[in-house]
Amino acid sequence: MSQQQHEAVYTTDEYGRPFIILREQAKKTRSHGVEAIKSHILAAKTVANIVRTSLGPRGLDKILISPDGEITVTNDGATILGQMEVEHQVAKLLVQLSKSQDDEIGDGTTGVVVLAGALLEQSESLLDRGIHPIRIADGFDRACAVAVQELDRISDLVEYSKENTENLLKTAMTSLGSKIVSKEHQQFAQIAVDAVLSVADLERRDVPFDLIKVDGKVGGSLADTKLIKGVLIDKDMSHPQMPHTVRDARMAILTCPFEPPRPKTKHKLDITSVEEYNKLRDYEKEKFADMIKRVKDTGANLVICQWGFDDEANHLLMQNDLPAVRWVGGPEIELIAIATQGRIVPRFEDLTKEKLGKAGLVREVTFGTTRDKMLVIEECANTRAVTIFVRGSNKMIVDEAKRALHDAICAVRNLVVDNRVVYGGGAAEIASSVAVARAADEIPSIEQYAMRAFATALDAIPLALAENSGLSPIETLTDVKSRQITEKSPQLGIDCAGRGENDMRKQFVYDPLISKRQQYLLATQLVRAVLKIDDVIVTGAAED
């Protein structure tokens, strides 16, 4: 009997009927949740390992091939994960993690995924030691609070103004160091800083992103990229004989088509005689003449129209010396209205002189030997609107340069919003890791194991940076960490550029504090969510 007690558990169900749980089954029941968490961790680690090699200035790029064969070459974490076909549910959470970092901060999308992957990897060994997932999650939360506190302590204030942009420039260059545009990163960093300062309200620490438009055209080299103080639209004048340049432009910005009004209901018009046809033609001519008169009466000398217009309207516009641009998209129409301080007019009857947009110069620009033309609106009434015009040898480079500029603009924006920085090259992670490990020694509960695991996970960032730079990872990290502790200098990091200098302050490798803090918080939140999932249930269709 005693032997049986070792092997089986006797119990009863809710109706008092006895049944037996074998010891082996009981063990399986307990371990089922842990095994499920481990399978989730494996999926997340796989995704994190894909982007791990893209981290840092020497990180490698990935080629992404879409279902229709289109190629994207990038090392931007959010782009790689966003375009990957991911089946596993937890892997999808990592994709959303990088997207939320991209939406909120705009930079650090690779780092946040690598950190989340490292935290999940560490939690796997803690699960093997029998620590409950919730205790691990609680320990990670405590460790994250210590790490964020340490970031605040080691952060430095950077001074900047519209005249003194040196620190903003260094932050933008740090962001661009790992991108495909690194060959021209001084020029691109300057463009990003100029664009942000053109639209920023430094007193309110506000950067309205909708005033910065990034456009690109294949042809030319990256060095031909420039900042235009105004709006650039991929359109030309609707008639080749219209003037290609309009000075002191007064624009009628229309969202109504240049054509006679039609009945809203379904209609059928039967024309059975020449008189009726002439009558209809005269009606249309009269309507066209009325529309053009309304525009001319306001003093407008350029029409920007969201819709198209037929050849007759085009011919009449040209005869009346009224240059026009047609098929201008909704976002461009809005940007033109903001830049020229004009009003978007939905009906000809509403058009007045006060609603016209004003710009000093509107001109067509052509490219090389192609017939491609674009319209540049400069010297706008609202001088804050700017456009970055990216050039590149092929579409892939233009697209990646746009993504790189987005990250650099976001990095500069973050510094305008909060001008505290921590140092890159893994310096902030090493300092946080040391602080968390020190705090873990003072905690008597089981959570100290989770805190030490968090400290080890933070080391994954400098390890990946060293590995991607061709250095010996463990040796380099140990050396930098011991120097940080003995010299009490949290700005020491991995020398990715091989300049023989570990002081990131001297190398000018800056990261905005809010970007780094967000990485820690988002990664910890995601890991807590994953550790609390012990099963995946596919919900079926509801029963009738």
Q: Is 171 a catalytic residue?
A: no
Model pLDDT for residues 444-485, shown as the tens digit of each residue: 888 889 999 999 999 999 999 999 888 888 999 999 999 989
Report pLDDT digits (tens) over 3-62.
444 455 556 666 666 655 544 444 444 455 678 888 888 888 888 888 888 888 888 888
Q: What is the dihedral of CA 313, 314, 315, 319, to 10 degrees?
A: 100
Judge whether 194 counts as a catalytic residue. no
Which pair of tokens denotes residue 279? 């009558």
Q: Answer for the pair 75, 61: CB distance below 8 angstroms, yes or no.
A: yes
Residue 58 near residue 71 (C-beta atoms within 8 A): no
Is the C-alpha dihedral spanning 494, 498, 503, 508 positive or negative? negative
Choice among 107, 194, 407, 495 that is catalytic: 407
Give me the residues paired with residue 12 across strands: 18
Q: How much is the pLDDT for 433?
A: 92
297 included as an active-site residue: no
Q: Of the residues 74, 109, 225, 524, which is catalytic?
A: 109
Q: What is the pLDDT of residues 124-153, one digit of tens each?
A: 889 888 888 899 999 999 999 999 999 999
Give me 128's structure tokens: 């093997």
- Nearest of 224, 227, 201 to residue 213 by alpha carbon: 227
Average pLDDT over residues 365-372: 76
- Tell me the pLDDT tens digit for each residue of 489-523: 888 888 887 777 888 888 888 888 998 999 999 99
What's the CA gap between 399 and 218, in Å, rounded?
10
Domains and CATH numbers, the chain: 2-157+423-531 (1.10.560.10), 161-222+384-418 (3.30.260.10), 230-382 (3.50.7.10)
* Helix orientation angle between 460-468 and 447-458, rounded to the nearest 10 degrees: 20
Annotated active-site residue in 53, 72, 79, 110: 110
- Choosing from 53, 72, 74, 76, the catalytic residue is 76
Q: What is the mean pLDDT of residues 354-363?
A: 87
In sequence order, the 6+-apart residues with CB closer than 8 A to the CB of 270 are none
| pLDDT of 83 | 86
Question: Could you confirm whether 225 is annotated as catalytic?
Answer: no
